[in-house]
Structure 1
Amino acid sequence: MNSASHTSTPTLSDEEIIKRVTQGEKHLYKNLIRKYNLRLYRIGMSIVNDDAEVEDIMQTTYLNAYSQLATFQNKSSFNTWLTRILINESLLHKKKSIKRNQLAMASEKEDLHNDTPLKNLMNKELKAILEKAVSNLPEKYRLVFVMREIEEMSTQETMDVLDLGESNVKIRLTRAKEMLRNELSDYYKTTQLFEFNLIRCDKVANFVMAKINP
């Protein structure tokens, strides 16, 4: 999902797009949505592990970010700021789900190992093994692993987003790799992991833009 192939102004920086959106060019916000859909989806999946729910969380994230664009200050990058909103929304959603389903928690935990919603997306044997193994990592290790190894975010970006020190990021990444090594060896990293295809990208982008500019 290359944002450059779907936008008329691929050379604009995030800062320039934000400036122009806040000045009335609302349609440019779609550029940011397409640019960051895949990253938000992968990170959301590492927390919530339900692709339909993650789409809802992404839409809420973009709408919340849009409503705060006028007060956004470049103390951090837009990417970091947007990812923090996504993580907060994901954790809030997860917390509410746990409260609603306390009596069913034991069976739900078992389902995460046996029949997760990710299985509907898996069309290759290796991909199925990879996604199941990553999904079964404890959340704090899974989140760092997805950011660093799948999304290829830098250590500094990961530190900023998760508000962790450098040593904690490195320790969690090392631990995640150790958990995966016996089962997956060198095959854990793939661009197909947690796919977010063009149709679904369009769905999120069109939903958010319809809310912003009906």
Structure 2
Amino acid sequence: MERPQVNNVSDDELVDRIVKGEPRLYESLMRKYNSRMYRISMSIVNDDAEAEDIMQISYLNAYRQLSNYRQQSSFATWLTRILINESLLHKKRNTKKEKALMETAFTDEHHETPLSNLMNKELKAILEGAVASLPEKYRLVFVMREVQGMSTNETMEVLALGESNVKIRLARAKDMLRAELNKNWKPEQIYEFNLVRCDVVVDHVMAIIKND
């Protein structure tokens, strides 16, 4: 099945056409916001499989409420609010389970989820772990502003915060991230020359010396 061609069509126009009988166009809206939805949900639930489930639930909830969308805010803001509410509800439901299982909020398997285009997987895992360690209210703002690239105004609207609060939380998040990363900073690991590499060089040189 071919994907609908909706280049240069606004979100509001798409919503209107979907409500009027073109449900296939909803695919375009989902593809447009998948990255944002995933990252923001991850910043709350810290589980890639759960984030995907929450995305699906949120998209379905939004679709079923499209006729109630009144354009008082942008579609992106409206959709993101639905996602955040569902993510928070999901997290609340699972709090007791998480305590019972004594699981960490961000395990190794979660480190394999995309956060940004980092070339080094080890560095990526460290950064993801540092972001996951932030308190939720700071993590949300950081992911929206720095990872997803949302504007201050849109972040304010989605989270119902004032401009100063958004800026303060972002600055605080950066400070805490810096402190967390500094704890893992080990200069001696840069260009580390491990034992195996050491043996290779030494053995090679000694072999040459022995034959001289």
TM-score, normalised to structure 1, is: 0.77
- Name segments (4+ residues, structure 1) moved above 3 Å: 99-104, 120-123, 182-185
Per the alignment, residue 94 of structure 1 pairs with 91
Contact 1:57 1:86 in 2 (8 A): yes
**Partner Cα separation in structure 2 for residue 101 and residue 54 of structure 1:** 16
In structure 2, list runs of 5 or more residues that go unmatched: 115-119, 183-212
Q: CA deviation at 1:174?
A: 0.6
Q: CA deviation at 1:9?
A: 1.5
Pairing 1:183-202 to 2, within 5 Å after superposition: 183-184=180-181
Which of 99, 105, 116 matches 1:112?
105
Contact 2:54 2:83 in 1 (8 A): yes
1:31 correspondence with 2:28: yes
Which of 136, 141, 145 matches 2:142?
145
Aligned residues: 175
Pairing 1:55-204 to 2, within 5 Å after superposition: 55-104=52-101, 107-108=102-103, 111-112=104-105, 115-121=107-113, 124-184=121-181
In structure 1, list runs of 5 or more residues that go unmatched: 1-5, 186-214
Contact 2:153 2:163 in 1 (8 A): yes
Contact 1:148 1:155 in 2 (8 A): yes
Q: Which has the higher contact order (CA 8 A, sep 6+)?
A: 1
1:17 correspondence with 2:14: yes
Tell me the amino acid that sits aligned with residue 165 of structure 1. Answer: G
**Partner Cα separation in structure 2 for residue 70 and residue 84 of structure 1:** 17
Deviation sequence 1:102-132 (CA, Å, 0-9, x none): 434xx22xx236x343134477111111111
Contact 1:65 1:82 in 2 (8 A): yes
Comparing 7-16 and 169-178, the one that deviates more: 7-16
SS of alignment partner, residue 74 of structure 1:
coil
Contact 2:11 2:29 in 1 (8 A): yes
Tell me the amino acid that sits aligned with residue 17 of structure 1. Answer: L
Contact 1:147 1:153 in 2 (8 A): yes
Tell me the amino acid that sits aligned with residue 112 of structure 1. Answer: A
Contact 2:4 2:24 in 1 (8 A): no
- Aligned residues: percent identity? 62
**Partner Cα separation in structure 2 for residue 33 and residue 66 of structure 1:** 10
Q: CA deviation at 1:184?
A: 4.5
Contact 1:49 1:117 in 2 (8 A): no
Alpha-carbon spacing, 1:121–1:79, altered in 2? closer, same or farther (3 Å)? closer
- Which structure has the larger Rg? 2
Tell me the amino acid that sits aligned with residue 110 of structure 2. Answer: L
SS of alignment partner, residue 112 of structure 1:
coil
1:49 correspondence with 2:49: no
CA-atom RMSD, angstroms? Answer: 1.8
